[in-house]
Amino acid sequence: MFNFLKRKKNINTELIVLGLIMLINALSYGTIIPLLYPYASKFGINAVTLSLLFASYSLFQFISTPIIGRLSDRYGRKPLLLLCLMGTSISLAFFASATSLFMLFFARILDGITGGNISVAQAMIADKVTGKERAKAFGMLGAAFGFGFLIGPALGGLLSQISLTAPFWFSSGFALFATILGYFKLKESVHKSDVKKQKKEPLFNFVALFKALLNPTVGAVLLVSLIMSITSNTFIIGFNAYSVDELSLTAKEMGLIYTMAGFLSVIMQMAGIKVLLKKFKTKEKIIKISFLGSFFSLLSMSMGLNFFQFVFALFVYMIFRSVVNPLISTILSERTKNEDQGYILGINQSYISLGQIIGPLSAGLVSKISISAIFIWASILMYGGFLFIQFSKKKITKVDV
């Protein structure tokens, strides 16, 4: 009994440390978001080049994350997590000290290559926690990450009063602190028996990345994750365009809305998931309801709403969508064998990165019709996801990937 309580205490301590690391990671990233364009513009960058700068990060993250996940299965979670955090620190230092456009792209690409820390942290949770506690732990991790994005932009704006490079140096130092914290406080979670099994697996198979979508156990979940990512990143473009062009909001007002929406997201991931898991029998049902609720809220945003109506619809959308990603990560981990946890969660993160590329590009094309059409397109995606979940067959057997 004593050993059980001691083990549970150790797990809770490590979950807190992982959550703190993800908070620092998100805070370092969220801090630089408002400053990317003003800082990069001194190198002659325009809106098109900026989109390519964002896309370069997501593209290389899409490619590298499954490799990082497989390496974490093979050599352990801790060294790969620390490597990713160190990569973030170095890339931000490069960005802050850039003297050319080439250095800016190099820094973002480096950050993308080492951008698999979320999937590795999720795999560490999957190694240690089972059952409903796993979903709660993923929710806590998502909430910590969301809280970083909640306060990051405000912090970045404050630091920019010192200089435009100050937020980047601060974020680099914060990521370095997370690396040091993880080195001293985290314990390896991969068992030697799982490592022996995993060494027989190939490090990376690009075709397998797409074949995973055809897998009867995890393929449907990955597709749902991709749809959610495309929709979320489509919505971001629509939100910014509608806020400025239709509602004429100031940067301060937009920041306040972002903060309030982020706060709702944190609450849902910290407490809302626990309540929903008690009320509904399956995680799949919660995701299905979330997709349907997101569909209606996004569709309502296309109807020429005034400020208060638009903000209300936005908050409803955030309440529904906030619970989806932690539950998807939980389902994937439950349907995957222990030796493949890092790999499959890495593949999921890659598809999230792919959505970060497809979403903005599709929103840009649709915006040529109208800004409201962006919300219609996003709602169509969500309804398609709802129908897919509704009619897909459930498979719960653990699978080799």
Average pLDDT over residues 184-207: 65
In whole angstroms, give the CA distance from residue 116 to residue 86.
Answer: 12
Task: Give the pLDDT band (50/70/90) at residue 148.
Answer: confident
384 by Cβ neighbours in 10 Å (0-12 / 13-18 / 19+) ranks as: middle
Residue 185 belongs to domain with CATH number: 1.20.1250.20
In a domain, 318, yes or no: yes
In a domain, 335, yes or no: yes
Q: Is residue 396 pLDDT above 70, yes or no?
A: no
Comparing 37 with 124, which gets the higher pLDDT?
A: 124
**Domain of 334?**
2-391
In whole angstroms, give the CA distance from residue 396 to residue 401.
Answer: 14
- Worst-scoring range by mean pLDDT, 99-113, 295-309, 334-348, 365-379? 334-348
In whole angstroms, give the CA distance from residue 188 to residue 156.
Answer: 33
Query: What per-residue confidence (pLDDT) applies to 197?
Result: 53
Write the CB contacts of 188 (distance below 8 Å, at least 6 apart in sequence).
Answer: 76, 77, 78
CA angle, 280 as apex, 279 and 284 as ends, to 5°? 150
Q: Is residue 262 pLDDT above 70, yes or no?
A: yes
214 by Cβ neighbours in 10 Å (0-12 / 13-18 / 19+) ranks as: exposed
Q: Please give the structure tokens belonging to residue 60.
A: 């290389």
CB 251 within 8 A of CB 347: no
Neighbours of 311 (CB within 10 A): 19
In a domain, 396, yes or no: no
When divided into structural domains, the chain yields a total of 1
Give start and end residues of each alpha helix (H) in 242-282.
Answer: 251-267, 273-279
In a domain, 397, yes or no: no
In a domain, 327, yes or no: yes
In a domain, 272, yes or no: yes
In a domain, 398, yes or no: no
Most distant CA atoms of the chain, gap in Å: 65
Task: Give the pLDDT band (50/70/90) at residue 2.
Answer: very low
Q: Is residue 250 pLDDT above 70, yes or no?
A: no
Write the CB contacts of 251 (distance below 8 Å, at least 6 apart in sequence).
Answer: none
In a domain, 263, yes or no: yes
Query: What per-residue confidence (pLDDT) applies to 230?
Result: 93
Write the CB contacts of 379 (distance below 8 Å, at least 6 apart in sequence).
Answer: 294, 295, 296, 298, 299, 302
In whole angstroms, give the CA distance from residue 309 to residue 87.
Answer: 42
Task: Give the pLDDT band (50/70/90) at residue 258.
Answer: confident
Query: What per-residue confidence (pLDDT) applies to 386?
Result: 92
Amino acid at 341: Q
> Taking the model in full, what pTM does it have?
0.69
Comparing 289 with 271, which gets the higher pLDDT?
A: 289
- Give the start-end residues of each E strand in 99-219: none
Q: Give the gyration radius of the chain's Cα atoms.
A: 20
Residue 234 CA to chain centroid, in angstroms? 15
